[in-house]
Amino acid sequence: MMRIPDRGRLDAPSRLQPAVLALGSNLGDRGELLRDAVGALRSTPGVEVRAVSPVVESVAVKPAGVDPSAPRYLNAVVLVDTLLDPHELLAEAHRIEAEHGRVRAERWGDRTLDIDIVDFDGEVLADPALTLPHPRAAERAFVLAPWLAVDEEAVLPGAGRVDALLAALGDDTVPAEGVSL
């Protein structure tokens, strides 16, 4: 059960904090899964959805690199404001993934739904459960392109402006025709 942070806790956020979430799906009805995930985020106590990007399609990336034989991903970025701390937001993301059939059997394996925290109010964090900002976001056009679509001034902490990162990387995503969130 999700809880809203106790306003009396010294470490509880005292204000809404911005966060960037990356969503992806390459199994099942990918568009419906992403729509449902956005709906679940909208109904999560302590989370306000501020913007949802257009949906893009991309090839699957596995530990060994791009896997053109794997099902293609649909990806989007959601900007939220939250009263949750980063670990509570991660727990909610994992809950939503599980409710949509996510199975964690293989690292970077095919999945019904993936929700990653890309940035949490510029916070830098590295612990066994969560690394912020997301350690590979600067290398992923399927995160950068939709993020840039909803925030032209976006900056990935420690890496730079999202527009410059995407220009250097190259955008290999394509718009997902007929899919909107």
Active site residue 121: no
DSSP 16-66: -EEEEEEEEE-SSSHHHHHHHHHHHHHTSTTEEEEEEPPPEEE-EEETTEE
Of the residues 110, 111, 119, 151, only one is catalytic, namely: 111
Of the residues 85, 116, 119, 151, only one is catalytic, namely 116
Catalytic residue status for 114: yes
Is residue 116 annotated as a catalytic residue, yes or no?
yes
127 catalytic? Reply is no
- Report how far residue 64's alpha carbon sits from residue 157's, in angstroms, rounded to the nearest whole number: 26
Structure tokens at 137: 């976001």
Neighbours of 77 (CB within 10 A): 28
117 three-state secondary structure: strand
- Which of these is catalytic: 85, 110, 114, 151? 114
| Catalytic annotation, pick one of 30, 85, 102, 140 | 102
Catalogue the active-site residues. 102, 111, 114, 116
